[in-house]
């Protein structure tokens, strides 16, 4: 899939050809920073992008291409088959309507429940996310940040979707509230067999919540694989930098030694040539300035070069870096 925004200043490639899949009951973590294209990707999945965006490729939801659905079908799919938990619950809720009405809305719109039944369902949903049923009568401003995020999750669950896309669901929350929300998300995935795509710039949060991780940089997936493996043994230098950005408290090597990357995330309108990470890369080779490497198995297992492309979208650990290629590294020119 690829997404390009057309703007007065020219085309902005936000997502540059990526393939991902999520199974039932599986949690996929999408890591990246501003400009990496991760939020664009999330919005694209349900066609929530502005008109200026041009999307190519396929987005298959239970085998059906979201990009080719007619408007009516798309409306039916949103909320009922897949729903989104947006970042910043403060702004995503309507401030002048009670939260119970807002949770009930997709149920009523989709004709899933009559008003009386919807009220019962709302009470049940609130309970599932750990809020008392009387909270249905509250307005968003009467709730704390963590409670509002729970309301957002209840809304996302209302129509029993098969897939939930959560964009930075805990970013604005305190550690304790974050832990509560993550525990809730994990248990919902496990109990209901929902597929989850969770987006964050905090690799440690994703590693603790998800089965698999995909690290995005400048619109591409640069590393993917089993969550623990990617988090503790990242092979792409950017994956490694993200994993080290949040220190493990108690780890002597990070004491008084914050680790970061020089430079800034690239501007999608002026992407560097070759590997787009090379200007910030601590281990770049001269050839990285012109050579872009595809995802390649990085788990050390033997590779049949003929099938690396098909395997890369499966569950093994892959990285798009010249240092994981099996060939001998070029002579340091």
Residues lying near other proteins in the complex (CB under 8 A) are found at: 33-34, 144-147, 174-180, 183, 201-205, 207-208, 238, 241-242, 244-251, 254-262, 264-265, 280
Question: To the nearest whole angstrom, how small is the minimum distance from the Cβ of residue 108 to other proteins?
Answer: 30
Q: Count Cβ atoms within 10 A of the Cβ of residue 276 and give its class: 0-12 exposed, 13-18 middle, 19 or more buried.
A: buried
Closest separation in Å from C-beta 275 to other proteins: 16
The smaller minimum CB distance to other proteins, of residues 101 and 202, is found at 202
C-beta of 105 vs 202, nearer to other proteins: 202
Closest separation in Å from C-beta 256 to other proteins = 7
The candidate with the shortest Cα–Cα distance to 233, out of 324, 147, 121, is: 324
Comparison of 250 and 328: residue with beta carbon closer to other proteins: 250
Q: Which is nearer to other proteins, 74 or 179 (CB)?
A: 179
Distances (CA, A) of 36 to 184, 203, 216, 248, 324: 27, 14, 6, 25, 22
Buried b (16+ CB within 10 A) or exposed e, 97-106: ebbbebbbbb
Rank residues 87 and 312 by Cβ distance to other proteins and give the closer one: 87
Closest CA to 294 of 282, 312, 267, 281: 312
For residue 204, the minimal CB distance to other proteins (Å) is 4
**CA pair distance 319, 308, nearest whole angstrom:** 12
Rounded to a whole number of angstroms, the minimum distance from the CB of residue 152 to other proteins is 16
């Amino acid at each position: 899939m690829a997404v390009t925004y057309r703007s007065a200043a020219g085309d902005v490639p936000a997502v540059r050809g990526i393939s991902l899949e999520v199974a039932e009951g599986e949690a996929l973590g999408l890591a990246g920073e501003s400009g990496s294209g991760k939020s664009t990707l999330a919005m694209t999945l349900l066609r929530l992008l502005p008109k200026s965006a041009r999307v190519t490729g396929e987005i298959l939801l239970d085998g059906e291409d979201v990009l080719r659905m007619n408007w009516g079908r798309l409306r039916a799919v949103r909320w009922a088959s897949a729903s989104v938990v947006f970042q910043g619950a403060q702004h995503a809720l309507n401030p002048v309507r009670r939260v119970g009405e807002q949770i009930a809305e997709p149920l009523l719109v989709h004709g899933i429940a009559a008003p009386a039944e919807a009220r019962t369902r709302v009470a049940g949903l609130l309970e599932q996310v750990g809020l008392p049923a009387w909270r249905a009568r509250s307005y968003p401003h009467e709730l704390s940040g963590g409670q509002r995020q729970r309301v957002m999750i209840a809304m996302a669950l209302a129509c029993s979707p098969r897939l939930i896309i959560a964009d930075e669901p805990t970013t604005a929350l305190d550690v304790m509230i974050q832990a509560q929300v993550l525990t809730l998300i994990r248990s919902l995935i496990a109990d209901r067999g929902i597929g989850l795509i969770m987006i964050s710039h905090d690799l440690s949060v994703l590693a603790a919540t998800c089965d698999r991780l995909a690290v995005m940089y400048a619109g591409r997936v640069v590393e993917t694989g089993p969550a623990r493996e990617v988090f503790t043994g990242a092979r792409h230098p950017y994956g490694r930098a993200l994993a080290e950005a949040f220190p493990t408290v108690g780890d002597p090597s990070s004491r008084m030694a914050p680790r970061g990357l020089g430079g800034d995330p690239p501007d999608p309108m002026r992407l560097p040539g070759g590997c787009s990470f090379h200007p910030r890369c601590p281990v770049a080779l001269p050839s990285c300035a012109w050579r872009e490497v595809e995802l390649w198995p990085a788990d050390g297992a033997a590779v049949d070069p003929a099938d690396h492309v098909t395997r890369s979208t499966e569950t093994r650990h892959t990285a798009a870096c010249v240092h994981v290629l099996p060939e001998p590294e070029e002579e340091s020119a």
